[in-house]
Amino acid sequence: MARKLAVIGAGLMGSGIAQVSAQAGWDVVLRDVTDGALARGKDGIAASYEKFVSKGKLEAAAAEQALARITTTTDLDAVSDADVVVEAVFEKIEVKREIFQALDKLAKDEAVLASNTSAIPITKIAAATSRPERVVGTHFFSPVPMMQLCELVRGYKTSDETLAAAREFAESVGKTCIVVNRDVAGFVTTRLISALVVEAAKLYESGVASAEDIDTACKLGFGHAMGPLATADLTGVDILLHATGNIYTESQDEKFAPPEIMRRMVDAGDIGRKSGQGFYAH
């Protein structure tokens, strides 16, 4: 019998996780608060499957079967028979804690309770439940169908069994996992990109090199697909300022102190691609 996955939140990440999981044979129930959000999520998944079919990367019949494995609901009770629950709602700790409190009452005792948070400590989310050993971070990357990585995050009380079950789930949907053994701010991935962006912005700010040359150094010197300043523009300078600021506050490590230029860019509204101007004009 196929195993059952419940995904809470049918936005960009939740629908991506549902998509790859259904394709890998999981029975998926996708839960959101409104029928509109569920319809948008499921339509997006159908469109993405169609794209893979048109490119010859997925059989039409397989796409149809995968889509049929995804049901949608606004009822949180639907998690009651899930083996794995992945939460992918807004990045707000109060919302996530409220959901985990409810999951604690509704989910099977042996279910894995996972959060896709990109920055909130798993320990804080797990503390909303009576079973923090069953709570783990499964940090997928966007777009989920294309990105290979899943960053598994151990909360303070996450058990070895839970981590192993989370790994098994992520690998079953085609991802390669890295394990974050201590629940530090920014995990591994956000710490790495923050350190790189902060240093790149400092070099740019002090006139050591142009934005283009800093990015070219990373692309041609280190084989990065994209330079740090172009990445900042794509992600949003505001998002990265917030992320590095959080890591700095928690760690008090000077290397994460956001440089002044990032604050001024955000004050001025030059936050990257979404505003038309960041380190580059778009």
Ligand X SMILES: NC(=O)c1ccc[n+]([C@@H]2O[C@H](COP(=O)([O-])OP(=O)(O)OC[C@H]3O[C@@H](n4cnc5c(N)ncnc54)[C@H](O)[C@@H]3O)[C@@H](O)[C@H]2O)c1
Near ligand X by CB under 6 A: residue from 14, 132, 137, 228: 14
The token duo for 24 is: 């890998």
| Nearest approach, Cβ of residue 128 and ligand X (Å) | 13
Would you count residue 31 as binding ligand X (CB under 6 A)?
A: yes
CB burial string 218-244: b at 16+ within 10 A, e below: beeeeeeeebbbbbbbebbbbbbbebb
Would you count residue 21 as binding ligand X (CB under 6 A)?
A: no
Name the segment binding ligand X (CB under 6 A); options: 21-29, 124-132, 135-143, 240-248: 135-143
Closer by beta carbon to ligand X, 95 or else 178 = 95
Evaluate the omega torsion of the peptide bond into residue 258 and state whether it is cis, within 30 degrees of 0. Answer: no
Q: Closest CB to ligand X belongs to which residue? A: 11
Would you count residue 118 as binding ligand X (CB under 6 A)?
A: yes
**Cβ(202)–Cβ(224) below 8 Å:** no
Would strands 135-140 and 149-154 be described as parallel, antiparallel, or unpaired?
antiparallel
Closer by beta carbon to ligand X, 37 or else 153 = 37
Tally Cβ neighbours within 10 Å of residue 107.
24
CB burial string 144-157: b at 16+ within 10 A, e below: bbeeeebbbbbbeb
| Nearest approach, Cβ of residue 203 and ligand X (Å) | 26
Near ligand X by CB under 6 A: residue from 5, 6, 7, 8: 8
Instruction: Look at the block and give the residue holding tokens 């959901």.
Output: 99
Footprint of ligand X on 65-104 (CB under 6 A): 88-91, 95, 99
The amino acid at 276: G
Residue among 206, 201, 204, 200 nearest 219 (CA): 200
SS3 34: coil
Footprint of ligand X on 242-261 (CB under 6 A): none
| Nearest approach, Cβ of residue 251 and ligand X (Å) | 19
Closer by beta carbon to ligand X, 90 or else 168 = 90
Closer by beta carbon to ligand X, 147 or else 268 = 147
- Between CA 243 and CA 99 the distance in angstroms is 23
Name the segment binding ligand X (CB under 6 A); options: 30-38, 58-66, 240-248, 253-261: 30-38
Q: Which residues bind ligand X (CB under 6 A)?
A: 8-14, 31-33, 37, 88-91, 95, 99, 116-118, 139, 141-142
